[in-house]
Structure 1
Amino acid sequence: MQFLHKAIGGAMQIEHLKEFLLLASNMSFTKTSAETYQTQSTLSRHIAAIEEEIGAKLFIRDTHHVRLTEIGKAFYEDSQITVEDFDRSMRHVESLKKRGEILRIGYLYDAARGLLPLISEAILRSNSNIVPEYQALEYGDLMQRLRQRQIDLCVTLDIDPDLGDSFCRVYIGRDTYYATMPKDHELAGRESVTLEDLSKQPIIFPDPKAMGAINAYYRRALKASEYGIEPAAYYKDIPSLAYQVECGMGLALVFRHHQERYGDRIAFVPIADLAQSCRVCIMWDKRIENVVQGSWVQELRALEK
């Protein structure tokens, strides 16, 4: 651990260590910069600063691959412990200030809004000392914070196959894509539309950098390759998408749960030949179970449908 001791004794920022851990997990500067909402050059500078501070290279980079050096592998193991200890210490400080064990809950806006009371009751039943702390987030930001352990659990759509087995899931509902368009659009009065109907229209896609997993899910749902569908525009959040659709910039796929909020402004039409749906789940990193005590895991699992 000599490299890590030297680094922590210097000016290294804990957020840069978290970026290093994410990069070591992704092995992709492109993916990591997207998930941390910064440019690749900024990420590279942060990694270079760590390497300069410890006096050793952490990654081997060539045209097609990124991989850890032997020192990088050792630094990765030590950094995980350091970041977890730091997060645990900060949580302890916060819990002392609030006289309770904080459980940071991120949720996906309207997809989770109606479920929060049920989830909150289950958590509070498990331990009266737990203080739930809520954050409403867009999908990309929500999943980034979960990966970086800036939130403890989230209520979200289970659409990202890259999360792996280190995350626990409790399934509490389902959601389905609808086509959305201006209320005066020629397709708006139909009982349903088809993918072929949509392929003839300009389609607004999720931004691949801010919402990579949803972008990939979106393409699969639309069968974009089969129908030759290319983005007419991009969106980074649902309020912006609703505005773009309302202004006639294109049609879009949105999950049914958004209809309650935006149905008075834009039309929502079922898609007859789209069987694509996903499950709504409560998700958390298994490691948090050792940090936040109580029977909250059992209480949440009892909610599964």
Structure 2
Amino acid sequence: MHHVRYFVAVAEELSFSRAAERLHMAPSPLSRRIKDLERELGAELFVRDYHHISLTEVGRRLLPSAIEVVEKFDALREIAAGVRQPAIRSATVGMAPEVSPRLRSRFLQLINDAVPRIRVRHESASTAPLLRTVARGEVDLAFVHGRVVDPQLVAVRVEDQRVAVVIGRGTGFDDRTSVRIHELAHLPYVSLREAAAPFVYRVTDELLIRHGVHGRVAIPSNNQSQLVPMVAAGQAFTICGAEFGATRKAFADEPVLFLPFDDDDVRLVTYAVWRDDRARDHEALHQLTAIVWDELAANGHH
């Protein structure tokens, strides 16, 4: 089980160092355990390049089953504890790709401290699909990006991040430490398709137009790694969190620059959203929303 857990951590982080930090161990022993597992299975699970790893086809096929095995194994303790302790309540929490590790970790720590009998199941997706699943009652609470306009949802602002431009080296910005939007007008902006996060897409589009950036390229998928070739080749630029996020992670070890914007109006706002009617009848969700209001709400904005 340890080896399967190690595989899941490395596959999710796509980094031995980050996975080792998450598992509270050193990278070298972790790498050896993964090789042990590969020998046991008779197949390589990762493609290892210089400072970069990715899943092999075997690894991609194995990952969903491995995650399920780990979750079922972890549930054994809870099943045993349920015989002598009050039932563990469950809640499904969604996380959009650019939610910061700081916010995610703080929320989970608050749950462990205040309501340890709640078991949280995680759902990762972009903003638009998460909003639909919250509205349908399939996800109890989600952290999403951009203002929420659905009247049946409560939305509480919990994080306000700076963002940065991602631009290829050799495009005239190598000696810079920051950039203004209008300086990028000669390049198109490349992003995921609008359906992934419609509000964020529209706000970004309006912002770029206001600063004279009119070129657009939309990748027809939700896979941030497909943004990499155009940006690394200097054919376009994109935007990511200034410190973290799935898009930033996709460009790790690529020949690109991450330059903070000098413009004050370029921010990425994260909201916690849920259905108020479900919070009244769902005890676990009611306790989670209390944590959001009491501990995470940013200046009372919602």
Query: TM tier, shorter chain?
Result: 0.5 to 0.7
With over 3 angstroms needed to count, the CA separation of the structure-2 counterparts of 1:221 and 1:274, relative to structure 1, is farther
Q: Which residue of 2 aligns with 1:271?
A: 261
Question: CA contact under 8 A between 1:172 and 1:280: conserved in structure 2?
Answer: yes
Are 1:298 and 2:295 matched, yes or no? no
Q: Map 1:1-305 onto structure 2 (within 5 A).
A: 99-157=87-145, 159-164=146-151, 166-222=152-208, 224=209, 227=212, 229-234=214-219, 236-237=221-222, 238-256=224-242, 257-258=244-245, 261=249, 262-265=251-254, 266-293=256-283, 295-304=287-296, 305=298
Question: CA contact under 8 A between 2:169 and 2:234: conserved in structure 1?
Answer: no
Q: Take 1:270 and 1:126, find their aligned partners in 2: how far apart are those partners?
A: 36
After TM superposition, give the deviation of residue 236 of structure 1 in Å.
3.6
Q: Which amino acid aligns with 2:277?
A: R
With over 3 angstroms needed to count, the CA separation of the structure-2 counterparts of 1:274 and 1:239, relative to structure 1, is farther
After TM superposition, give the deviation of residue 235 of structure 1 in Å.
5.6
Q: Which amino acid aligns with 2:89?
A: E
Q: Which amino acid aligns with 1:300?
A: V
Q: Take 1:151 and 1:168, find their aligned partners in 2: how far apart are those partners?
A: 14
After TM superposition, give the deviation of residue 105 of structure 1 in Å.
0.5
Q: Take 1:180 and 1:245, find their aligned partners in 2: how far apart are those partners?
A: 7
Greater Rg by CA: 1
Question: CA contact under 8 A between 1:205 and 1:235: conserved in structure 2?
Answer: no
Equivalent position SS for 1:111: coil
Question: CA contact under 8 A between 1:140 and 1:212: conserved in structure 2?
Answer: yes
Q: Take 2:265 and 2:169, find their aligned partners in 1: how far apart are those partners?
A: 24
Q: Which amino acid aligns with 2:260?
A: P
Residues 262-283 of structure 1: per-residue CA shift (max 9 Å, x gap): 3532311122235221432322
Q: Which amino acid aligns with 1:138?
A: S
After TM superposition, give the deviation of residue 150 of structure 1 in Å.
1.9
With over 3 angstroms needed to count, the CA separation of the structure-2 counterparts of 1:297 and 1:181, relative to structure 1, is same
**Any runs of at least 4 consecutive aligned residues in structure 1 with deviations exceeding 4 A, and if so which?**
none
Q: Which amino acid aligns with 2:176?
A: R
After TM superposition, give the deviation of residue 213 of structure 1 in Å.
1.9
Q: Which residue of 2 aligns with 1:70?
A: none
With over 3 angstroms needed to count, the CA separation of the structure-2 counterparts of 1:116 and 1:217, relative to structure 1, is same
Residues 94-140 of structure 1: per-residue CA shift (max 9 Å, x gap): x99x9532210111234233322321232344444321101222233
Q: Which amino acid aligns with 2:267?
A: S
Residues 188-222 of structure 1: per-residue CA shift (max 9 Å, x gap): 43122222211111221441233322210211221
Residues 73-112 of structure 1: per-residue CA shift (max 9 Å, x gap): xxxxxxxxxxxxxxxxxxxxxx99x953221011123423
Q: Which residue of 2 aligns with 1:72?
A: none
Q: Take 1:300 and 1:274, find their aligned partners in 2: how far apart are those partners?
A: 27
Q: Take 1:243 and 1:172, find their aligned partners in 2: how far apart are those partners?
A: 33
With over 3 angstroms needed to count, the CA separation of the structure-2 counterparts of 1:150 and 1:243, relative to structure 1, is farther
Task: Please give the TM-score of this superposition, normalised by the length of structure 2.
Answer: 0.59
- Identical amino acids, percent of aligned pairs: 12
Equivalent position SS for 2:205: helix
Question: CA contact under 8 A between 1:176 and 1:276: conserved in structure 2?
Answer: yes
Q: Which residue of 2 aligns with 1:91?
A: none
Unaligned runs of 5+ in 2: 1-77
Unaligned runs of 5+ in 1: 1-94
Residues 36-95 of structure 1: per-residue CA shift (max 9 Å, x gap): xxxxxxxxxxxxxxxxxxxxxxxxxxxxxxxxxxxxxxxxxxxxxxxxxxxxxxxxxxx9
Q: Take 1:226 and 1:168, find their aligned partners in 2: how far apart are those partners?
A: 32
Q: Which residue of 1 aligns with 2:63?
A: none
Task: Please give the TM-score of this superposition, normalised by the length of structure 1.
Answer: 0.58
Q: Which residue of 2 aligns with 1:16?
A: none
With over 3 angstroms needed to count, the CA separation of the structure-2 counterparts of 1:263 and 1:286, relative to structure 1, is same
